[in-house]
Amino acid sequence: MTAYRSRFARLLADRGGNFAATTAILLPVLLGVAGVAIDYLRMTQEHTRVQNAADSAALAAATALAEKAFTEEQARLLALSFLRGQMAGSGSTGDDAAKNDDPNAPFSAAPTILINETPIAGNGKKFTVSVEAHYKVALTGFTRVLGVNDPEIVAYSKTASQTATMNALSMYLVLDKSGSMAWITDTKDGTTSSCPNYTASNWSKYPNLKASSPCYVSKITALKTAVTTLAAQLVTADPKSEYSRLGAVSYNMSAQTPSPLDWGTTKATTYVNALVAEGGTASTDAMQKAYSSLTDSKETKAHTDKTGLTPQKFIVFMTDGDNNNTYDDTQTLAICDKARADKITIYTVAFMAPSRGQNLLKTCAGTTANYFAADSMAQLVDAFKTIGKKAADRTTRLTN
């Protein structure tokens, strides 16, 4: 017994082979820890990839519903296509499941794509698209040593879109029809070979100026084209004339009989197309007519009774010259100030106008964004087209 005890004591005291034994015991743990670190990085990368795919799918479907009039079924198929397209061939786990017969591949379950449609004011629609995708990440064998199962990533995205809608609006055109509007622009008239080409230098011969060639488009004709272009923007936005009302008043030394505010654009454009350039320039009474018409309570009521919408209100003030009296500048600006205070947006267009006329319109607009300087027929038409687009405010709104 003494010999056995001695041998056992020596065995306990012997440190040989300790490293090998310790390594054998700890190796599975060390491999598991290394596997966890590797797989955690992979899971983070995969989560980003799946989330990006879900975001792209939701946004694509919402955009197609709002801008391309997709049906809900078409939008779902598009979203699913985006999901699979974004995932194809770019994953760190390898999407080999797609090569099998799994209809949900590369996802662990069928993606959920929900679409909700609600009506909004202005005859528009709002779409809400929700996408949920489940994706299983295959772990390395190192992590499985610790008994961890393959985790499932869940990505969720929600996007809203809105079809283009027509805001209710009332717009009054205040247009210069003074004698200088009979003068020529720089644009040739392709409809006739010759005509009286009036300018500042030969205006004294009106109406007896001899015809000359080529014939140039007059400023009053250019204005008629520009107003037609503006009206076309409103018609495009409001083809049934349910949301827009347009009026017009012309002026020379006094305000002419106006075309009162009415649904659609027909009456106002007919009025403008009949204008004849003559007389001097005094803008006060015409601006007052536009302001009074827009602020009349009956104008807002016309909209609320028909659509329930409160209209945005606009004045489009155009001149090609100076008021004959500076008094009219002062009075016109006072009306402009009142209109802006009453939340009426004023767009002004200086058409080949001298500096005093330009300064009047710049100040009246209140902001450079609402002032347009047109030195040619093309610029005039473009200015009125831009004003029409801004006023109609047809926008598609997307929020991710």
Q: pTM (2 decimals)?
A: 0.65
Q: Are 219 and 352 in contact (CB under 8 A)?
A: yes
Q: Which amino acid is at 230?
A: L
The pLDDT, as a whole number, for residue 399 is 41
**Domain map (residue ranges) of the chain:** 20-162, 169-395
Q: Are 75 and 129 in contact (CB under 8 A)?
A: yes
The pLDDT, as a whole number, for residue 164 is 67
The pLDDT, as a whole number, for residue 21 is 53
> Which fold is adopted by the domain 169-395?
Rossmann fold (3.40.50)
Q: Are 350 and 226 in contact (CB under 8 A)?
A: no
Report whether the peptide linkage leading into residue 214 is cis, meaning its omega lies within 30 degrees of zero.
yes
pLDDT along the chain (400 residues), means of 10: 64 55 53 60 84 92 89 94 81 48 83 91 82 86 66 90 81 98 95 94 94 96 98 92 95 97 97 97 98 97 91 96 96 98 97 97 96 97 96 54
Which runs of consecutive H residues, i.e. helices, occur in 274-392? 284-295, 297-306, 326-341, 355-365, 377-392
392 vs 111, 244, 305, 323, CA distance in Å? 39, 8, 20, 30
Of 267, 262, 265, nearest to 231 by C-alpha is 265
